[in-house]
A = this chain, B = another copy of it.
Amino acid sequence: MSIRNPKQALYAQFAGVAKALGHPQRLELIEQLAQGPRSVDALATKVGLPIANTSQHLQHLRRAGLVTAERAGKFVNYSLADDTVLTLFASIRVVAERQLAEVERIVRGYFQARDEMEAVTRAELTERIREGLVTVIDVRPPDEFALGHLPGALNVPLSDLEARLPDLRHDREIVAYCRGAYCVMSFEAVAVLRARGFKVRRLEDGLPEWRAAGLQVETGP
């Protein structure tokens, strides 16, 4: 790092933040952390990366001020530094969505009938919950569910979905959600349940956005 004038130094700082987000695995770590604090090897397992590598990526994010680390006994728990990080992540997603035809193609190719699965907005869902008209299911793994979920939501991990079908009623609308707008699980859950004749829709995004909107979140199993 050579000597710079203040203007360049400022741009260099901004660039540092962007650069920290300029890696697929680090973005995935951010999205995981958006669900709640995690230890290094919990993250490594989720993301499927070697522990040392995960640790390095996390330190990279920490240096950029995007996440914070806190020691708890043997573990080091990382969390998002604050809500603005989520906003930044969302901004990147919006730009990528609008600008890159590529993203649309990927999304369409993977999520197939994405358009046919009209998403429920947060506002609509809160209203429906108030009226007691819907069953809300959280299709994330139990550990993520325990750290926070929508009020009254049923935890039906995608892996258990088939087995849990008897718990679900055909006569009520079901709304499924998971980690966020691009989380695959709720799409898959909707597909499975539709095939079984359930009336089911997705929440437009996931728990982090719900929390960020200042809406109520329950914890515990």
List residues of A whose CB falls within 8 A of some B CB.
6-28, 64-66, 81-82, 84-85, 87-88, 91-96, 98-100, 102-103, 106-107, 109-110, 182, 184
How far is the CB of A109 from the nearest CB of chain B, in Å? 7
Taking a contact as CB atoms under 8 Å apart, the answer to whether B106 and A10 are in contact is yes
Given known A24-B15, A100-B65, contact A88–B84 (CB-CB < 8 A): no
Complex Cα gap A21–B88 (Å): 12
Residues from chain B with Cβ under 8 Å of A93 in the complex: 14
Taking a contact as CB atoms under 8 Å apart, the answer to whether B17 and A96 are in contact is yes
Copies in the complex: 2
Residues from chain B with Cβ under 8 Å of A12 in the complex: 24
Given known A27-B11, A84-B94, A91-B87, contact A65–B99 (CB-CB < 8 A): yes
Complex Cα gap A7–B66 (Å): 22
Taking a contact as CB atoms under 8 Å apart, the answer to whether B23 and A15 are in contact is yes
Taking a contact as CB atoms under 8 Å apart, the answer to whether A19 and B17 are in contact is no
Could you list 6 further interchain pairs (A-B, Cβ under 8 angstroms) beyond the known A9-B106, A18-B22, A91-B91? A6-B106, A16-B22, A16-B100, A18-B18, A19-B19, A84-B95
Complex Cα gap A64–B103 (Å): 11
How far is the CB of A139 from the nearest CB of chain B, in Å? 16
Residues from chain B with Cβ under 8 Å of A65 in the complex: 95-96, 98-100
8 pairs of residues in contact across A and B, judged by CB atoms under 8 Å = A6-B109, A15-B27, A16-B100, A19-B19, A65-B99, A84-B94, A87-B94, A88-B88
